[in-house]
Structure 1
Amino acid sequence: MALAVLVVAALACNLPQAAPSAEPNAAFTAAALTVAAQLTQVAQTQSAPTSAGSLPPPTNTSLPTIAPPPPTIAPPPTLPPTPTQICDAAAFVTDVTVPDGTVFAPNTAFVKTWRLKNVGTCSWTPSYTIVFDHGDQMSGPSAQALTSNVNPGQTVDLSVNLVSPAVNGSYKGYWKLRNPSGVTFTQFYADVKVAVLSSGFDLYTRAPDAAWIGGGGGGGGTILTFGGPDSDPNGFVMYRSGFLLEDGSSPSKILETHPKWVDDGVISGEYPAYTIVAGERFRAKIGFLAKADGTCGAGKVKFQLNYKEGGSLHPLGTWTKNCNGNLMTLDVDLSSLAGHSIRLVLAVLADGPASQDWAVWVAPRVVLP
């Protein structure tokens, strides 16, 4: 059975041309003419002889020879430096848990996990340790040994148990790795905020504020009005407080979400944004309304809890349920989303025909235990 898809020039280079070089013979000729002119000028400025007589024959003076310039020797190529091999080195990959700026209530225990990569040439063994370096220690250990070998090129998730401080504010603790010789390397940190926040989100009370859509069966989605009617062929959502459920109970907070009345029909509701507080959990019971005589109908559906963040839909859980006389209890840890502003999405998908898919959520809520 297919699950129904949830709705949602380069510049031209005019380099100046170098002036044409004079031919070597022309350069030598110009030099010779210049020297000859200088000699003529000297001869003309000499004083005339004091006595008459024959002038001495002129002395033939040879012109100096101009030597050609020496050839240009290209410098030897520069060799790249030889890379230095480092034994102990790590590279930060990502925060597996508790992204920077996560908000915690005071005195809240949490686990901080970093993903690091061994980018050195030496393997990390259990003789290597995570050590607190400086900043806010947040009740973390001063040193904690690695639990397995990490060879060069491998990644590893390293975790420490921390507790948020008792006073509101921003806190940052720095940690490093330490080798068996006591040398520390590669800094990483935990960055959290502590604030007294109002916690809890009641999905039952806020159901009228959600955007409900019915769809499936190859057709498009249809916006549904909260409160029915329960005869709407596109599906419906409404309160059913006090109705009889398949287990014989009649709770006060029953939210019925019936998918579109087609094979593999769907109904989904996207709630307003809510910022998750560290330690919060989603809790509810799921099941079916009973028939008038208290017995089960033929309902069979998939319940889904999803969340939307940044326009993308992410699953938190899927539970297949048929009417069997028992409710199913849900308890989903939302700690990985602490500090995130998300939109929770409830969905029900018909597992085949939608007849008697009287699917209910009993007291759906986000709570801080």
Structure 2
Amino acid sequence: MKSNSLRLISLLFMVVTLSGCGSSASPSAPVAEGPTVDPNLVFTSGAQTVVAQITLDAASRPVPTAAIPVTPTAETLPTLAPLATVEGGAAQPPAGAAVTPGAVIDQNATLPAAPALPTMTNLSTLAPAASLAPAAPAGTVVAQIPDKLQWVSNIPADKSKIPAGKPFKITWKLQNIGTTTWTNSYSFKFYAGTQLSKAAAYPITKDVKPNTSIDFTVDCVAPATPGEVYSLWVLQRSDGLNVGKFDITLTVQ
């Protein structure tokens, strides 16, 4: 577009130059008669042509569109309900609690009592289960064990000192306080603790009637290690039932 304007200006310049040269030519040269052209009109016409071309070029040039500023739209935030006011401080309501907007919470209000926990039962305090044995019919007398033994004394006495590793004897005086006679089907038998005697069981060699007593003597050997020893014995029937007990405690040194 700029090159076209330059061409028009150059053309106008040439027209003006040629018109000047024509006016200074020799008068002797024959010139054909014709209409006289005013050079000023030619210059004016050329100038108007150039101006018109420049105007057309400017009109055909696209006018840049100005950028239209975009006004940002503010996002509308949701309206929040006011928090509950707490008297005496800015404490928050408990999590999950329903609070009325603008409500006032009394910080000194009494909270509801927590639910009581179930009481655990100690199994050790429970009474033992009732026996599964059938109950005796009404009017039936339940038989009691007729065999009973009572300890009277023992030699040596409890807490007596005996030499370690040495033989010695123990004699118990025992009384029959039951209603049956102890026969040779009964025996005195070691039950628990330290066995000081050579044997673990001794059958009764003579009958022991009710309300009478017997001296039961056993041969023993003291332990080789010093210290206190305890020995527990029982009176046992032929059916294996133990019907009485007796014991002794000695100090080995």
Task: Give the alignment's TM-score, normalised by structure 1.
Answer: 0.29
Which protein is richer in helix relative to its size? 2
Which protein is richer in strand relative to its size? 1
